[in-house]
Amino acid sequence: MRKPIGAFWNNGKSSFTVWAPLVSKVELEITSSNQEIGKRILPMKSEDFGYWTLEVEDVTIGDRYGYKLDDSQAYPDPASRSQPGGVQELSEVIASQSFEWNDQQWKGRPLSEMIIYELHVGTFTTEGTFDAIIEKLDYLLELGVNTIELMPVAQFSGNRNWGYDGVFPFAAQNSYGGPEGLKRLVDACHQKGIAVFLDVVYNHIGPEGSCMHHYGPYFSTKYTPVWGHPFNFDEPYSDEVRNYFIENALMWFDECHIDALRLDATDHILDFGSKHFLMELSEEVKALKERNRKQYVLVAERDLNDVTVLRSFDQCGYEFDGQWLDNFHHALRTLATNDRGHYYADFGEITHLQKAFEQTYVYNGTYSNYRKRTHGVSAQAYDYSRFVVFSQNHDQVGNRLLSDRLSTQVSFDMLKVVAGTYLLSPYVPLLFMGEEYAETNPFYYFISHYDLELIQAVREGRKKEFMGFQKEGMEYLDPQSEDTFLQSKLSWKYQEGEHLEMWNYYRKLIQIRKSHPVFRNFNRENVKSWIDKDAVLLWSQDPITPEDCVLLCIANFGKSINEIALPEGTWELVLDSQLFGREDTDGISLTDPVTVSLPAESFLVYQCDLSNRKKIAM
């Protein structure tokens, strides 16, 4: 049974609920903005399972409050919705349900229809706020994006952070605009037909500013920390910890109208109880979906190459809508860059990318040299639309020694090959902010902690974690430096030279994806892939209905021209990456037998009416 937690204001009254099972007394300390009322310290009522509650009259929006535990100092609310003074100050009473929404007609969007644009609130715009993103929504619509994904916005220490060090999971970051700013952004997105993904972190807490340990056994005592203290999902008192995070997920959906959550590193959410936390979470989200009659989406990041999060409840799975597909990224990136360092050592052959098209997981019960063991299971029972693919994301850019983007590592032509390969794949595509115009500014890892020992530990930890990518003479910038953060902001040079050409190229790719009939409904039987020459990958997407066309995509990752024989039929050229923006290729038709000369580092798209061609034989 769910237990709402936090402060809930309604017409001058506010109810307060906090979990503190190991203390004998809890008092609410609340300071009113009304000087006649001032500060009050009020005893709270003990309830079952360690909860403490109180309803208070004469509470004003903006009042600050915290909890005194056995006569301790007052600590912020672990379920605080607002921390305007940062992580060290007391919490703020807000009217969490009183925002005037204008999205009543919005019902959400299924994962299969999404074209996702991942962004970091602090570096996406000069201002680094939720409101500033609103000013860029028309730009994203013109590009063709229909979904934005926000990197974590839960309150973290300081003003600069990727967000994975959040310590108040219910509070939107104050420097971004707080909860009201987030709601204004979501409301504006929905009015323009844009869905909103939010990245959340349920596998650990940030290293600075958390008050959870004062309240109770939120953290595991039996699992070794990787990035920070893991949460207690299967030890004594874990029912209430699970309630805390389920309430958090439901809050994002219900109070903030978020459409989808991407759960970070779910393989590090450790739970060996009879019902995994992720299954319980999914059940509650599905129940909320039924109550609200909206389309809520759950996607997992997961490094196990398993399908547990996708399996149905009756198969002991978690029934998530999808998961990120790192294998596709690794296979694509290594072909483009020839980078074989660290975990990329398992990739680099054209056969790896073909396998990613055909079987999703490149390592699906096969031996991994990098891991020195067999890795993965088969994913072929699950539709392409359950997997999110990308050529870049915050991890694959920021977690490099120099945090350099693909645009600074490969040629302009190769960037186009990479973009076409994943944007016109059968999977759900995700862009990382700026890639659509070949942004060259890096995306560094940055923090703004206060503790000097912690700052040094982060510096050393980053060096150690990514030493597998390091090259002689290279050093990365200090993550604590404000300049590191400022250098990570987008340049917005999309109207200049090759940047404009790339932006128009991305628009064309997305237009093809959104308008061509093959993307409306396809499954594994309708996607065929094969290799012609060592550096060329071809894939076709056969239609469901006979009146539809076949789309044939050809990607040459090689450095030389290749002669490719097309299957029988009359083929119309849809896109040529090297001629795009330079020559008019509309309406060019080729009649079989056809051999095309494929330039080095090129991406071509052809379509053929089904009535004019024989079945492609692989």
Indicate which residues carry an active-site annotation: 264, 301
Greatest distance between any 2 Cα atoms in the chain: 89
Q: Which two tokens stand for residue 520?
A: 């409306």
Torsion angles phi and psi, residue 31, rounded to 5: -110, 120
| Cα separation, 419 vs 506, whole angstroms | 7
Residues 6 or more apart whose Cβ sits within 8 Å of residue 563 = 595, 596, 597, 598
According to DSSP, residue 347 is labeled -
Helix (H) or strand (E) holding 590: strand 589-591
Q: Which two tokens stand for residue 286?
A: 């599905």
| Cα separation, 75 vs 261, whole angstroms | 29
| Cα separation, 177 vs 174, whole angstroms | 5
Tokens 């500014």 belong to: 441
Q: Which of 537, 318, 501, 500 is nearest to 422 (CA)?
A: 537
| Cα separation, 500 vs 437, whole angstroms | 6
- Is-contact 77 7, C-beta < 8 A? yes
- Is-contact 493 499, C-beta < 8 A? yes
Buried b (16+ CB within 10 A) or exposed e, 399-420: bbbbbbbbbebbeebbbbbbbb
Judged by phi (left if over 0) then psi (alpha if -120 to 50, else beta), residue 380 lies in alpha
| Cα separation, 549 vs 554, whole angstroms | 16
In three-state secondary structure terms, 506 is: helix
User: Does residue 593 have a cis bond before it (omega within 30 degrees)?
Assistant: yes
Spell out where 427-478 has E strands: 428-432
Distance of CA 131 to the CA centre of its chain: 20
According to DSSP, residue 461 is labeled H
Q: How many CB atoms lie within 10 A of CB 386?
A: 22
- Is-contact 516 506, C-beta < 8 A? no
In three-state secondary structure terms, 481 is: coil
What Cα–Cα distance (Å) separates residue 265 from each residue in 220, 230, 516? Answer: 17, 12, 34
Buried b (16+ CB within 10 A) or exposed e, 350-364: bebbbbbbebbbbbb
